[in-house]
Structure 1
Amino acid sequence: MALMSPDFLNTGNLLNVGGQAAVTAILAFGVTFVIVSAGIDLSVGSVAALSAMVLAWTATSQGLPVWLAVLFALGTGLACGLVNGLMVAYGRLPSFIATLAMLSVARGLALVVSQGSPIAFPDPVSALGRTLGGWLPVPVLVMAGMAVVAAVVLNLTYSGRSMYAIGGNEEAARLSGIRVPRQKLVIYGLSGTFAAVAGIVLASRLASAQPQAAAGYELDAIAACVIGGASLSGGVGRASGTLIGALILAVLRNGLNLLSVSAFWQQVVIGAVIALAALVDTLRRRT
């Protein structure tokens, strides 16, 4: 990209790439937990929109303090994730079906809360969408912080090691003493909470909560995980790889825009990259 566009390596453009990758990366960190445990979460985009809508509605229409509205938003994401976990762990539903249902429910609730119209975001939270010192996008800092949290959870906690065990062989994990249903609640709860953070960051950039925000972002989040080396078969995945995958998607979109490539062809290129990443993963597992 740098060879084809002299504007690509400008500091301002690189920071713009980081800002564009932030929401996808934060969503993808949560999805990484689910994919590592051999599941899938299709609801993160809708949960992000619903959480942002709850924050805006409670802070503006209901007059709650901003800090309390933020807690309500995070609680909304956590609740949606726990419902997913209950359906998967105790209802024995396939994660695809359970999270597909939550995708529809969360999007519908966002429309109900907002009556289909955007709601202005409170100013203190809108600061998340601005820059620090006039040059560093705050979403990049939030993305870095959530990357650290995801890495710590995956590598240094009991739940993180359980994710790899469940994804590698769920029956073996159960026989080794891991309480698989309880850990699945934790996994999907984390995914929902990360989705809520992503929704808040996205709405702060737009300065308003919109019921149709983050539509299709769940696919970008899954793509970032796969491009970053996570295996859809479970048991493999790292927060650092997911971050790289999200940045690759952002670099592709940004670079293709700088090269004036049609938005239609951009979808073709990104789809080809995702297919190539999945093929590499398949070949790696065969060997």
Structure 2
Amino acid sequence: MTTVDHTADVPARPGDWVRERLSNALSEFTAAAALVVLFVVLSFASPHFLTADNLFNIGAQTAVIAIIATAQTMVIITKGIDLSVGSVAALAGVVGAITVRDLGFSIWAATAVAIAVGGVAGLVNGLLVTVARIPPFIATLGTMSAARGLVFIITGAVGVYGLPESFQLLGNGEILGIPFAVVLTAVVAVGVAFLLSQTRFGQYTYAMGSNLEAARRSGIPVGRHLTAIYVLAGLLVGLGGMIAASRVNSGQPNYGIALELDVIAAAVIGGASLFGGQGRIIGTLIGAFLIALVRNGAVLLDISIHYQMVIVGLIIWAAVYFDQYRRRRLESRG
């Protein structure tokens, strides 16, 4: 049986490992503190914030960002990036909506189709990165353009309407008063967190992100594993796209434009490093809630979408700067 050389994915000395763990915990604590502060501020700033309808809306909105950010986190841990998530989510949602309206599929069958669409897109990304040796940034940029073009071709740039009420189950349904989308998010988050922290799949993922060449020399099937990560990420993006379509009871060809910014921000805010090798799902969930609150609060306070884009951009700058600062501190102490 092949063994993994863990020198690729953990610091050389116990003290370094402890400092890195504390640094990761600090990132998550800082994001959680910012989330609490923002929640309190919005509670006083808008009388509509703490209403049941708005909290339900935040839960559903967070679900889409969180699920897709979970997919992005896995890719970022490998020192990659996926810029195609918004376009692929739109394609998956549109295809799912069409299968219900035109082919008479149930919501569950349509969801399976949407997830499969995301998986195919993930496979394309994975093969472009591992077989064609195209850098992830360029590979997924191409997929972003191609997927968006397919959406417009399929729909004629017109939304898919005329869907049955049952189509809203994923995005607007409830289980014991809890949004169904939130339940799905919890299942996805627990599953991926377990996969990354308790399995060889996770060990390989972190090892590749920390030192790809060392991981390869340790016997890790780098190409196959990296492709599997992109496929799994694509499956989750497909699910997120279907939830988003279900929320508005339609397939929208313009959905997901700039969504990659929100999910990258959520992952980085939660402690995932764009330099690879670091990231936890709990941190990503905190980051997703923070981004969702920013978006929701901006709408309640009548802040223009253009200012929202500026705010998210500033958040990304701050998160990446903090990540670089952490790494410099760890390197200087090492």
Q: TM-score normalised by the shorter chain: which range applies?
A: over 0.9
2:45 counterpart SS class: coil
**Which runs of structure 2 are paired with 1:215-230 in the superposition (5 Å)?**
215-230=257-272
CA distance in 2, matches of 1:219, 1:89: 24
CA distance in 2, matches of 1:268, 1:28: 20
Q: What residue is the counterpart of 2:188 in the other structure?
A: 146
Q: What residue is the counterpart of 1:280 in the other structure?
A: 322
Which amino acid in 2 is paired with 1:53?
A: V
**1:81 correspondence with 2:85:** no
Q: Structure 2 vs 1, CA of residues 59 and 101 (structure 1 numbering), >3 Å: closer, same or farther?
A: same
**Which runs of structure 2 are paired with 1:1-287 in the superposition (5 Å)?**
1=38, 2-3=40-41, 4-5=44-45, 7=47, 10=50, 12=52, 13-120=54-161, 121-132=163-174, 135-287=177-329
Bigger shift: residues 197-206 or 112-121: 112-121
Q: Percent identity?
A: 45
Shift of 1:9: 6.4
Shift of 1:252: 2.0
Q: How well do the aligned residues superpose, as a CA RMSD in angstroms?
A: 2.0
Task: Report if aligned partners of 1:159, 1:186 keep a CA contact under 8 Å in 2.
Answer: no
CA distance in 1, matches of 2:314, 2:245: 30
CA distance in 1, matches of 2:100, 2:314: 42
CA distance in 2, matches of 1:95, 1:272: 24
Task: Report if aligned partners of 1:26, 1:194 keep a CA contact under 8 Å in 2.
Answer: yes
Task: Report if aligned partners of 2:77, 2:273 keep a CA contact under 8 Å in 1.
Answer: yes
Bigger shift: residues 150-159 or 277-286: 150-159
Which amino acid in 1 is paired with 2:146?
A: V
Which amino acid in 1 is paired with 2:185?
A: M
Task: Report if aligned partners of 1:32, 1:242 keep a CA contact under 8 Å in 2.
Answer: yes
Which string of whole-angstrom CA distances, capped at 9 and with x for unpartnered residues, describes residues 184-222 of structure 1? Answer: 111100111011000000000010111111111111111
Which string of whole-angstrom CA distances, capped at 9 and with x for unpartnered residues, describes residues 195-254 of structure 1? Answer: 100000000001011111111111111111111110000000011111100111112222
Task: Report if aligned partners of 1:8, 1:14 keep a CA contact under 8 Å in 2.
Answer: no
Shift of 1:273: 1.9
Shift of 1:122: 4.6
Bigger shift: residues 134-143 or 110-119: 134-143
TM-score (norm 2): 0.80
Task: Report if aligned partners of 2:93, 2:245 keep a CA contact under 8 Å in 1.
Answer: yes
Shift of 1:59: 2.5
1:56 counterpart SS class: helix
Runs of 4 or more off by more than 4 Å in structure 1?
A: none
Q: Name structure 1 gaps, 5 residues minimum.
A: none
Which amino acid in 1 is paired with 2:235?
A: T
Q: Name structure 2 gaps, 5 residues minimum.
A: 1-37, 330-334
Which amino acid in 2 is paired with 1:117?
A: V
Shift of 1:179: 0.2
Which amino acid in 2 is paired with 1:147?
A: A
Task: Report if aligned partners of 2:159, 2:252 keep a CA contact under 8 Å in 1.
Answer: yes
Q: What residue is the counterpart of 2:25 in the other structure?
A: none
CA distance in 2, matches of 1:69, 1:132: 19
CA distance in 2, matches of 1:247, 1:8: 18
Which amino acid in 2 is paired with 1:37?
A: T
Shift of 1:133: 6.1
TM-score (norm 1): 0.93
Task: Report if aligned partners of 2:128, 2:139 keep a CA contact under 8 Å in 1.
Answer: yes
CA distance in 2, matches of 1:164, 1:267: 31
Shift of 1:259: 3.7
Shift of 1:281: 0.5
Bigger shift: residues 267-276 or 46-55: 267-276
